[in-house]
Amino acid sequence: MNHKATTLILFGATGDLAARMLLPSLYGLHRDGLLPQALKIVATSRSAHDDADFREHARAALVAHVPEAYFEADSAASFLQRISYVTLDATDAAGFQRLADAVEGSGEIAIFLSTAPSLFKPTIDNLEAVGLAGPHVRLALEKPLGSDLQSSCAINDAVAKAFPEERTFRIDHYLGKETVQNLLALRFANLLFEPVWSSAHIDHVQITVAETVGLEGRADYYDGAGALRDMVQNHMLQLLALVAMEPPASFDATAVRDEKVKVLRSLRPMRAEDSVIGQFTAGAVGGKPVPAYAEELERPSDIETFVALKAHVDNWRWAGVPFYLRTGKRLPQRRTEIAIQFRDLPHSMFASGGAKAAPNRLIIAIQPEENITLELMAKRPGLDRGGIRLREVELDIDQADAFADVRRRIAYERLLLDLIEGDPTLFVRRDEVEAQWQWVDQIRAAWGEAGATPRPYAAGNWGPSAAIALIERDGRSWND
């Protein structure tokens, strides 16, 4: 599908995601002349607004969330003229008829569905009933797409009745981040890396997604999901797949996603002893005291707010290479990164002089700052009468410096533009989602069989001490 949409329908348009991400992203695309000139944006939600009311709401969101240096009153005004509003309750068929009337004769339509999963089926049924699910309509879905494999299949089945796979765009916003996409460029556009990207040269891989925040108003969702389903099932497994995938034949949706699915299906079933779960207690983050998870939730809970895993991809390339994954809330710093640890030298010519060569390491930082660092060994300056002295140095490709002439974009800008243009490459296919859920469900089953419960860790620490032991018993350490 490569026909550009002429109408974009935003469900949940008065929600937090729309205010913080979607509307600022669409404004950025409009300001830079990247949206189709004739594109109309139809916003919907249950809140009663007319066009003028919602445009004022949207303008306030732009003022609050678009960087001041990038906000232009004239661009904002012309962007807002693209927007109209239809009040719509997902369970009320009459509202969908008003929506259909508002977009009649629009040609290609893209729908962004940012609602509770419980509303997916009635929304899709009503869209189909009013003719908004035909071959000229594509649908984007925000997570969560289920809470396990069974519920995910039920959602996918409901979607597939009206929207075939080629017109279904499942969103994982991490795939819209520049550094995540740059991982593909780093691997497959540089002869330097691909020949050493295997178990012959790589000792292990670490993927960390650390958050300093607690529940942030997501108590009902998070306490039903936990760290494993909230972060590992989607974002972290997508990062792992991009690290471990074989070279696609070309950069197109089918080739890229085929290779990711192969990785996900090669994940070894987890043993309970290869994982650690935790829940934060009261502590301090950034020098400020914070309450325990149970206090924040206002009730006891056995859900995990931290998980560390030792995973394996059982294929030729990665045989024997562990992938250590960890994620959690109320950790010391906000950080998302991939660390590729290379093997030790088989022999060092400098060892007789007392010089020790540390193994090379490639660190791909995704947030809060995007950059790539390659740690190398270099000679210390000096006359070295007692033998060459070595020191670890960094080759730092800071995205902000290397591309200072290019504006840093919100991940949703790329995803929304791809949705409008009908390019599914950076969206998640059904078989990917279900392979991810199959692996995660097996982990949860292993926890149940082992009677695993979250270990306490004080807020502001890197999880329970058992998470440190998980990697250190292999003679390795986390990249803290």
4 among the known binding-site residues? no
Which of the following is catalytic: 30, 235, 312, 347? 235
- Element holding 397 (H helix, E strand): strand 390-398
Cβ neighbours for 233, distance < 8 A, ≥ 6 positions apart: 436, 437, 440
**CA–CA dist 88, 461 (Å, integer):** 45
**CA–CA dist 231, 199 (Å, integer):** 26
Per the document, the length of the chain is 480
230 among the known binding-site residues? yes
Does residue 37 sit in helix, strand or coil? Answer: coil
**CA–CA dist 237, 239 (Å, integer):** 5
Q: Are 45 and 435 in contact (CB under 8 A)?
A: no
177 among the known binding-site residues? yes
CA separation, residue 186 to residues 40, 194, 237, 342, 362 (Å) = 37, 9, 19, 16, 11
CA nearest neighbour of 111 among 12, 20, 235: 12
Q: How many helices (H) and strands (E) does the chain have?
A: 16, 17
**CA–CA dist 178, 410 (Å, integer):** 9
211 among the known binding-site residues? yes
* 235 tagged catalytic: yes
Q: Are 147 and 229 in contact (CB under 8 A)?
A: yes
329 among the known binding-site residues? yes
**CA–CA dist 134, 162 (Å, integer):** 8
**CA–CA dist 349, 360 (Å, integer):** 16
**CA–CA dist 129, 110 (Å, integer):** 17
347 among the known binding-site residues? no
| Helices (H), ranges, 246-358 | 253-265, 293-297
**CA–CA dist 117, 171 (Å, integer):** 13
143 among the known binding-site residues? yes
Which residues define the annotated binding site for NADP(+)?
46, 143
Residues marked active site are found at: 235
Residues belonging to the binding site are 46, 143, 173, 177, 211, 230, 329
Binding-site residues from annotation for substrate: 173, 177, 211, 230, 329
